[in-house]
Structure 1
Amino acid sequence: MVQGTTSKEAHNESLTVRDERTGKTYTIPIVENSIPATAFKKIVAPSKKGEREENETERGLRVLDKGFLNTAVIRSQITYIDGEAGILRYRGIPIEQLAVNSSYLECAYLLIYGNLPTRPHFNTFKAEVMHHSIMHHDSEELFASFRYDSHPMAILTSAFAALGSYYAEANPSLAGQGLYTRGTPESLAIMDKQIYRLLGKATTMAAMAYRIRQGRAFVTPPVGLSYTGSFLYQMDHLGEEGYKPNPILEKALDVLFLLHADHELNASCTTVLQTGSSLVDPYSAVAAGCASLYGPLHGGANEAVIRMLISIGPPDNVPRFLEQVKKKERVLSGFGHRVYKTSDPRSFIVRKTADEVFALTGTDPLLQTAMRLHDEAMKDDYFVSRKLAPNVDFWSGLIYRAMGFPMDFFPVLFAVPRVAGWLAHWRQMMLQEGGVKIWRPRQIYVGPEKRDFVPIEERKDEGKQPRERPTEVYHSGQSKRYYLAEYTGKAKL
């Protein structure tokens, strides 16, 4: 029997499994509507004759879950999502209430520390974050080393990783692996200081990545502005006296930051925790999360929406585009979500914010195409039956475009606010009961069984598919001349 009790009450909170291979019955406890995956290791059976030894049948069952479709890897108190009902809450508070009444920095505090702050606590938190927004002068050389046309996410990811090299006291490899897990006042103080630094410098580094493209000198973070106000100032200030960003754009960006602050265990957050489970410094963990968010299936989705709308063209082209989507000839970006099976609750808030921005900036020509796409898709059974409703990316890209941000900067505007969520989950894991265990998933090995090494002269070409052999690269220009030249030690192709 697997761990459990024999009482009727306890039996009702369990799962009974009968292994037809052996006839044995196992009782697995259900706690918080979940079952421990390790319980299945107790379900063993003898190997069948001729069975692959790599199946490890006698060592217990493994749980196969490609892409974490239904696997919980941590107990969390931070963000709750109900995809069926379209619910998103930060620490129990509905996102709709926070978007109207709170700010990004206040939500960052809420996510990290668990409750909305009192005014004295929030003043301390905000002052520390803004104080730590200034970058070391030497870091300017790192940013300047990138080409003017480098993708800003490549720059930002590199900058987060490099940032850790400035703070030896923040590195568990140097200061001891219990640096962040002890939970003592001294340990918490060190942890909080890194949180202030990462939140404060995120906007500064993003602005520096932006100004590289413009060929402009970097701007020292100003005093007295809001978090998003300081961000806009650092991107756009050209030396004018008394410069202040437009308050409507400042507020709109703050709302978008708030909505993007956290979204439970998405790909980038999971990457942060996977990396952080090795007890690496938080700068390296955040850099890994930034790299994960870079992908078009994650942080690049709002950029993909704009490229899609541009490719569609005028609103009259929408019906033809949707027919192509149904035939799998085109990709519909900005609709549907891995978690939400109804409407994304953030999309309604973003839509209202979009109206406020467009009233200031003027209507984007793509808006009419977007509206037609929205209306046509929402009355088409093909998309309705598949629960493909607009998500937050559908509208946020239009807002960023209206505000004058280049498309490849959109993922940066996703990454900067998500730092708060990453840090909240990282901090929770560091302080969890029982300590931190390094994340090490299992695999189902389906490769070749044991085989002997064959000398190269005796080998046969066994690659039957293109993926089983290296691709030959066509060389032209300088490379072609180089390979045609003769020199000592030239390799034989």
Structure 2
Amino acid sequence: MGKPDSQKTSQSLTVRDNRSGKVYTIPITDNSIPATAFKAIKAPRVPGEREENETEKGLRVADRGFLNTAVMRSEITYIDGDAGVLRYRGYPIEQLALKSSHLETAYLLIYGFLPTKQQFGVFEREVLHHGTIHADSEEFFRSFRYDAHPMAMLTSAFAYLGSYYAEANPSLQGQKLFTSGNVESLEVMDKQIYRLIGKATTLAAMAYRVRQGRNFVTAPNGLSYTGSFLYQMDHLGQEDYRPNPVLEKALDVLFLLHADHELNASCTTVLQTGSSLVDPYSAIAAGCASLYGPLHGGANEAVIRMLISIGKPENVPAFLEAVKRREKVLSGFGHRVYKTSDPRSFIVRKTADEVFKVTGKDELLETAMALHEAAMRDEYFIKRKLAPNVDFWCGCSGLIYRAMGFPLDFFPVLFAVPRVVGWLAHWRQMMLQEGGVKIWRPRQIFVGSSRRDYVPLEERTAVEGLRKTPSPITHSG
């Protein structure tokens, strides 16, 4: 690569640099081209061009927000946004939601295959066994303010958890702790996977109960993953308490649906952080922080708040007109990947019907249905391919959560807990990838000032204007 190549093949890209007249042949592999190949396309700087462009050092590929940049090869999750397809390791999400469970799907995502009965028994037993947490963590959770957001607590708790396990820290045990792929390395890796999946529900339940002013509950024996989670949140000393099996199953389905979604913002954050070979607890905490944002894990909470603001179905037309005037924000429609209906949305709707048979229908469901139907008939939203996504029907799942008694600000936690599985699957894949781990270090296009000389304080001219000066803050007494 880098030299003119007269032999053209069908699996290559021919690029002509009009600045120099040179022709380059770039190989195409799996319908992708290596971005580093463009570094060989160099040209001399033209008169007056900024030196910061570094033209003589080769081209850079500009891709703000990773709109079309592949950062790794993966075998885990496949999405076809145009066709509305989502598969975990080749299995359609619809089949898994109907026939599998969250923990069985977790095994599939992490290890690549559906387990045998014996294999799953070992995995499930280890995950549930590691649900117990150190007693000192009670003091940690009670150190938060009474009104702390549960996602802030959960994010902090994942990082805090890592302080207990020096064996899992490559800074202390050596850089090859998780990357060597030998028996000892895989055992250490698997133990952290068990711990993180097992303790995710415990940490989330503790964040919930501290907000409720309740004592913490030890993870019980003999219940499923989501059954144990509901038990730890809801148990108030009742004898032989068991969560409602319909609600337990519904939560398991929702967890399965949210287990992974390819290289979304939070997963990419986990991998970016993990590429420095930090311990997995810190990487998961970083992913949790990314998920907290309203453009990601906070989206389903935003949908519920939107539905609450609309109120009744008859208010839907006026709301949609306000959206068109850009006076209101339509949450839960459109998706960065899906351009048709999100395949998970149909499963969420079916699950909602089952739950509402037990809890009663949420009054906002009629508003959600009216909004869905009106938007799908409106040419404005049709042209923009703004179909309802899983956040809208996780608005519907948010309605499920409301019916189950979860507070609104706990919804992102219910997204984060199952997504730990996907984060770990991608983290493990990166640790074991061929060629080892390379730290993620994106390039930038520098458009700031060229070289300037320092000006003494008394000789400077004030620069005024919004965004160019610090904001004044009014302090109370």
Which residue of the other structure, out of 136, 152, 155, is the alignment partner of 1:154? Answer: 152
Distance 2:415 2:190 in 1: 23
For residues 251-276 of structure 1, the C-alpha deviation after alignment (integer angstroms, 9 at most, x for no partner) is: 00000000000000000000000000
Distance 1:351 1:295 in 2: 25
Distance 1:4 1:458 in 2: 54
Distance 1:195 1:162 in 2: 16
| 1:350 pairs with 2:348 | yes
Q: Gaps spanning 5+ residues in structure 1: where? A: 479-493
Distance 2:217 2:244 in 1: 18
The 8 Å contact of residues 4 and 28 in structure 1, kept in 2 or not, is answered as no
The 8 Å contact of residues 221 and 234 in structure 1, kept in 2 or not, is answered as yes
Q: List aligned pairs for 1:183-222, cutoff 5 A.
A: 183-222=181-220
Which residue is 1:265 aligned to? 263
The 8 Å contact of residues 341 and 388 in structure 2, kept in 1 or not, is answered as yes
Which residue is 1:409 aligned to? 410
Letter in 2 for 1:228: T
| 1:317 pairs with 2:315 | yes
The 8 Å contact of residues 266 and 288 in structure 2, kept in 1 or not, is answered as yes
SS in 1 for 2:467: helix
Distance 2:401 2:462 in 1: 52
The 8 Å contact of residues 14 and 24 in structure 2, kept in 1 or not, is answered as yes
What is the RMSD of the two structures over their aligned residues, measured on CA atoms?
1.0
| 1:443 pairs with 2:444 | yes
Distance 2:227 2:6 in 1: 61
SS in 2 for 1:468: coil
Which residue is 1:459 aligned to? 460
The 8 Å contact of residues 3 and 29 in structure 1, kept in 2 or not, is answered as no
Distance 1:468 1:83 in 2: 41
Relative distance call for 1:212 and 1:3 in structure 2 (3 A) is farther
Which residue of the other structure, out of 52, 61, 64, is the alignment partner of 1:63? Answer: 61
| 1:84 pairs with 2:82 | yes
Distance 1:407 1:303 in 2: 6
The 8 Å contact of residues 3 and 28 in structure 1, kept in 2 or not, is answered as no
Once the two structures are TM-superposed, the CA of residue 359 in structure 1 deviates from its matched residue by: 1.3
The 8 Å contact of residues 181 and 431 in structure 1, kept in 2 or not, is answered as yes
Distance 2:101 2:7 in 1: 50
SS in 1 for 2:69: coil
Letter in 1 for 2:46: K
Distance 1:38 1:3 in 2: 14
The 8 Å contact of residues 347 and 391 in structure 1, kept in 2 or not, is answered as yes
SS in 1 for 2:163: helix
Letter in 1 for 2:447: V
Which residue of the other structure, out of 170, 173, 185, is the alignment partner of 2:171? Answer: 173
Distance 1:125 1:328 in 2: 50
Distance 2:102 2:174 in 1: 33
Once the two structures are TM-superposed, the CA of residue 2 in structure 1 deviates from its matched residue by: 2.9
For these two proteins, the number of residue pairs brought into alignment is 474
Distance 1:4 1:224 in 2: 67
The 8 Å contact of residues 80 and 88 in structure 1, kept in 2 or not, is answered as yes
Distance 1:28 1:239 in 2: 67
- Runs of 4+ in structure 1 off by over 2 angstroms are 1-8
Letter in 2 for 1:407: L
SS in 2 for 1:280: coil
Which residue of the other structure, out of 76, 86, 103, is the alignment partner of 2:101? Answer: 103
TM normalised by structure 2 equals: 0.98
Distance 1:461 1:103 in 2: 63
Which residue of the other structure, out of 362, 365, 381, is the alignment partner of 1:364? Answer: 362
Which residue is 1:434 aligned to? 435
For residues 169-214 of structure 1, the C-alpha deviation after alignment (integer angstroms, 9 at most, x for no partner) is: 1100001111000000000000000000000000000000000011
Distance 1:456 1:295 in 2: 40
For residues 75-121 of structure 1, the C-alpha deviation after alignment (integer angstroms, 9 at most, x for no partner) is: 00000000000000000000000000000000000000000000111
Distance 1:241 1:254 in 2: 24
Once the two structures are TM-superposed, the CA of residue 168 in structure 1 deviates from its matched residue by: 0.5
Which residue is 2:23 aligned to? 25
Which residue of the other structure, out of 107, 114, 124, is the alignment partner of 2:122? Answer: 124
TM normalised by structure 1 equals: 0.95
Letter in 2 for 1:257: F
For residues 383-429 of structure 1, the C-alpha deviation after alignment (integer angstroms, 9 at most, x for no partner) is: 11111111111122111111111010000000000000000000000
Which residue is 2:386 aligned to? 388
SS in 2 for 1:166: coil
The 8 Å contact of residues 3 and 23 in structure 2, kept in 1 or not, is answered as no
Which residue is 1:486 aligned to? none
Distance 2:30 2:410 in 1: 41
The 8 Å contact of residues 375 and 381 in structure 2, kept in 1 or not, is answered as yes
| 1:2 pairs with 2:9 | no
Distance 1:455 1:135 in 2: 57
SS in 1 for 2:346: helix
Relative distance call for 1:3 and 1:400 in structure 2 (3 A) is farther
Q: What fraction of aligned residue pairs are identical, expressed as a percent?
A: 77
Distance 2:313 2:58 in 1: 57
Which residue is 1:482 aligned to? none
Q: Gaps spanning 5+ residues in structure 2: where? A: none
